[in-house]
Amino acid sequence: MAAGGYYGAMEAWQAELLDECRVARLGTIAADGRPRLVPVCYALVDGEIVIAVDEKPKRGGKLARVRDIERDPRATLLVDRYDEDWVRLAWVRFDCRATVEPAGDRLPGALVALRARYPQYAAMALEGLPVIVLLPEGVVGWRWGAQS
């Protein structure tokens, strides 16, 4: 994970949680202002968080989350750990500026990082698809008995 930006400002446990989680939840702003939440797989590349628009499996058309970001680039990403032992509960939330990038210069690095984290992507053709890139602008964390 690159230092700098909000990654540099994160506490160690927050960075560890972001690394450890296999799925995050992305919140975008729907046309009517309502939050739209979806689970997403993600990877870290040079201080940004990348998400494949893979559509697992594809269903055609532009995804609603992509339309949301094109309309309003503010997006929120939440990673959290649930455990029946609630002293282990923790979450970290990133307020982000999101962009939807075509399969251009940034894609190769994003795909390398995504495939390194998710072997499932090895067999999927992502090269022609855009990626969502999240630039964190703020971070809030909480864990049992502590907060930042």
Per CB under 8 A, 147 contacts a second copy: yes
Report the nearest approach of a second copy to the CB of residue 132 (Å): 15
Letters for 86-125 (x = contact with a second copy by CB under 8 A, - = none) are x--x-x-x-x------------------------x-----
User: Using CB under 8 A, which residues numbered 5 to 34 contact a second copy?
Assistant: 22-23, 25, 27-29, 33-34
Residues 121, 126, 64, 70: what is their CA dihedral angle, to the nearest 10 degrees?
130
Using an 8 Å Cβ cutoff, are 35 and 48 in contact? no
How many CB atoms sit inside 10 A of residue 55's CB?
A: 12
Per-residue DSSP letters for 84-120?
Answer: SSGGG-EEEEEEEEEEEE-SSTTHHHHHHHHHHH-GG
61 makes contact with a second copy (CB under 8 A) = no
Stretch that binds a second copy, among 2-10, 42-50, 75-83, 100-108 (CB under 8 A): 75-83
* Chain centroid, CA 68 distance in Å: 15
Interface contacts to a second copy, rule CB under 8 A: 22-23, 25, 27-29, 33-39, 56-57, 59, 72, 74-78, 80, 82, 84, 86, 89, 91, 93, 95, 120, 144-145, 147
